[in-house]
Every structure is written in C-alpha cells, then in structure tokens.
C-alpha cells in the first residue's frame, strides 16, 4: 500500500515537535510522601548518562500496528469478537490525526481482516486513513508476535513514532503526548512504562502489581512512580510497546537479542503459548524487561499517571470474588488507579 504519511515535508524536525509537544508539564512531590532521588535507588553506571535527542516534525508521523492471533477463540473467558476491537482501535488511531499529526495503520493477523477494514470509512484529518493488512496462516500463532518488528525494520526511517498493540488494548492520545514530553526528562538508564487496566463498574483496576509495590522517586524536580524490586515479574508494557525511531535504534544496539529485525531463528527461540518468551516477549515489553540490561527500571510520571493506563478491553483478567465482593486478578491483586494515587500521597482527580 502507498502510505501517504511517508512523504516527508521540509519543515525542520525540531521545530515541528516543539509546536506539537510544547505544552508545559509541571510535576510536584505529593504532600507528605517520602521520595528518593533516582541515584539513591538506581546508581548511575558508566555509559548511562542522559541522552537528549532533538525531536521530530511538522506533520508528526505515527505508525500504529495491531497484531491479532484470532478473533477471540483462544482467549480464555472471552466470548466476544476481536474484529470489533480492531475496528475500534483503528477509529481511535484516526482520532489521533490533525493538521500536525499524520497516522498510518497496519493490521498483522492470522485470520482474514479484510472485511473489517473494508467496512471502515476513516479519515486522517484531510485524507482517508491509510490502512494495510498482512495476513499469515493460523499456524503461525506464537511466531506472529514478532512479525510487526520486521515491518518496523523496513520502515524505520518513514515514521517518527511506532505504536504496537495487541488486538484488545487501547492507548489514548493523551498517553502518547505525555510519553513524548516525558521521555527526555529521565536518564537513559530508565524507560517510561505503561500499565494495563480493566474497567469494571466504571472503575479502572490495575492487577499486575499489588498496591504495596508502588514507590516514588524524584528526578529533576519531577516525581515518578516505579515498582519496587521483587515485583517486576511483569513488564510495564503488556500487550503493547511504543518507541520513537531513535529509541528503536538504541534498543536494537543494546538489547540481546536485538530489537530489530528478529530473524526466524531468534523467533523460534522465543515462542510458545506457555513459554515466558512467547507472545509477550516480542509483542509486548517482556524483552525490554529481561534482555535489555541498560534499562534499570520503568517509570511512570505521577503527574500523568492516569494517562499511562492501557485499557484491556477483553476484561478476562479481573474478576469479582463472590466471597469478599472484591475484584481480584490472576495474582490475587486488583488495585484501582485511584487507590494507587492515594497510597502515593496524591489525591485522585
């Protein structure tokens, strides 16, 4: 497909990003909350000095990639149709478009998604939203999780930002803007993270970390949230990842195996429905957690904590315990975003 976002304009990249992400962000240490400095908890290591990069474009170019293994048949405790989610994801991607932002989308699936795309009539600001699809055999399954990385490798210099989503998670435009603003506010040994939530009875519930795992630290007068050591069995990217083209080049250089492009032999080493190095390794952030030693911790800015929530639409992780009338996840914990903020000394908005 001929993607129109790939055409570069002549406006200097630093000027366009300044216009796009110029909104100031003010952080403040919550009252009464004891914070630590980054160097107290994660001492700097040689070669990990902050790496400030000038940022991209008049029309900031985003590629949204969606991976779908099936229409929901293999998802436990799920009775819906992933085709509905994919259509909603594409509509949301189109909503990111503006005079300053250009979005393309590609769906990588092990089933025929063409009817879904053909039914949509989406526009990206002043043009139709360009959507492509890459179809694999259902037998690909676990290996499908790495195929979008090959697409990234082939188009790394065509876009400023890459967003990968599994077919049942949703990221907000506010989260993308917050990511772009805060990514240069932290030392290179840290990385911004996202966390999954499910919405039950109007409440956003996070289930991968218990309430007591959350801590704060201060970096350059900004307060960030991280998960205490011992609670890091899950990445702060789950079912998704996001990175600029410059960040991808750095991850490819420093991670083992490299971030791009995962060769078939490497993919075979890290696939399997029951293996920890399965779908979440390539499709989400497990590789960043386990195979990128330069990343010491994932951080979420306290000021924009809600913006970094990724909504898990399948809603098959959190269940209401009939005996206690409390919501529980697979690991036994389900903390509302409001309770997390309260525990950190910030009154939830």
Domain with residue 52: its CATH number is: 3.90.550
Phi-psi region at 32: left, alpha or beta (left = phi > 0; alpha = psi -120 to 50): left
Domain containing 76 equals 34-343
pLDDT band at 78 (very low <50, low <70, confident <90, very high): confident
Residue 170 CB-density burial (10 A; 0-12 exposed, 13-18 middle, 19+ buried)? middle
Q: In 10 A of CB 29, how many CB atoms?
A: 16
Cα 235 from Cα 66, distance rounded (Å): 19
pLDDT tens sequence across 241-255: 999 999 999 999 999
Give 136 or 36, the one with higher predicted confidence: 136
> Is 19 a member of any domain?
no
Residue 223, H or E segment: strand 222-227
Give the tokens for residue 162: 């890459």
Residue owning tokens 């990724």: 310
Q: What is the pLDDT of residue 233?
A: 56
> Is 23 a member of any domain?
no
Q: What is the pLDDT of residue 37?
A: 44
Do residues 300 and 195 make contact, with C-beta atoms less than 8 angstroms apart?
A: yes
Q: What is the pLDDT of residue 174?
A: 97
> Is 15 a member of any domain?
no
> Is 58 a member of any domain?
yes
> Is 234 a member of any domain?
yes
pLDDT tens sequence across 197-217: 999 999 999 998 888 889 999
> Is 106 a member of any domain?
yes
> Is 17 a member of any domain?
no
pLDDT tens sequence across 94-115: 999 999 999 999 999 999 999 9
Phi/psi at 244 (5° precision): -80, 165
205 DSSP β-pair partners? 198, 336
Do residues 51 and 231 make contact, with C-beta atoms less than 8 angstroms apart?
A: no
Residue 167 has pLDDT above 60, yes or no: yes
Prediction pTM value: 0.83
Cα 98 from Cα 126, distance rounded (Å): 8
> Is 22 a member of any domain?
no
pLDDT tens sequence across 111-154: 999 999 999 999 998 899 999 999 988 877 667 888 899 899 99
241 DSSP β-pair partners? 164
User: Which range has the worst mean pLDDT, 4-18, 28-42, 198-212?
Assistant: 28-42
Number of structural domains in the chain: 1
């Amino acid at each position: 497909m001929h993607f129109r976002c790939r055409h570069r304009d002549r406006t200097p990249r630093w000027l366009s990003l300044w216009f796009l992400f110029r909104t100031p962000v003010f952080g403040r240490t919550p009252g009464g909350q004891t914070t630590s400095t980054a160097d107290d908890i994660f001492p700097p290591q040689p070669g990990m000095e902050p790496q400030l990069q000038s940022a991209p474009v008049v029309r900031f170019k985003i590629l949204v990639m969606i991976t779908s293994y099936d229409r929901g048949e293999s998802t436990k405790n799920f009775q819906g149709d992933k085709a509905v989610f994919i259509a909603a994801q594409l509509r949301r991607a189109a909503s990111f478009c503006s005079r300053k932002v250009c979005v393309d989308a590609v769906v990588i699936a092990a089933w025929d998604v063409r009817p879904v795309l053909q039914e949509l009539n989406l526009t990206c600001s002043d043009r139709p939203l360009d959507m492509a699809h890459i179809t694999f055999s259902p037998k690909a399954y676990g290996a499908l999780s790495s195929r979008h990385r090959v697409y990234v490798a082939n188009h790394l210099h065509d876009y400023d930002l890459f967003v990968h989503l599994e077919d049942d998670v949703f990221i907000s435009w506010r989260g993308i803007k917050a990511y772009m603003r805060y990514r240069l506010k932290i030392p290179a040994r840290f990385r911004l993270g996202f966390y999954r939530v499910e919405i039950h009875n109007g409440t956003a519930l996070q289930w991968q970390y218990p309430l007591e795992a959350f801590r704060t630290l201060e970096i350059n007068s900004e307060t960030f949230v991280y998960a205490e050591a011992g609670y890091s069995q899950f990445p702060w990217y789950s079912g998704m990842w996001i990175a600029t083209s410059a960040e991808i080049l750095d991850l490819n250089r420093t991670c083992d195996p490299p971030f791009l492009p995962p060769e078939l032999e490497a993919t075979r080493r890290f696939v399997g429905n029951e293996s920890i190095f399965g779908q979440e390794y390539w499709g989400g952030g497990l590789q960043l957690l386990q195979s990128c030693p330069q990343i010491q911790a994932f951080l979420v800015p306290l000021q924009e904590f809600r913006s970094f929530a990724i909504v898990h639409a399948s809603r098959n992780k959190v269940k209401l315990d009939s005996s206690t009338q409390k919501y529980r996840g697979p690991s036994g914990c389900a903390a509302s975003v409001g309770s997390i903020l309260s525990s950190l000394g910030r009154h939830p908005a």
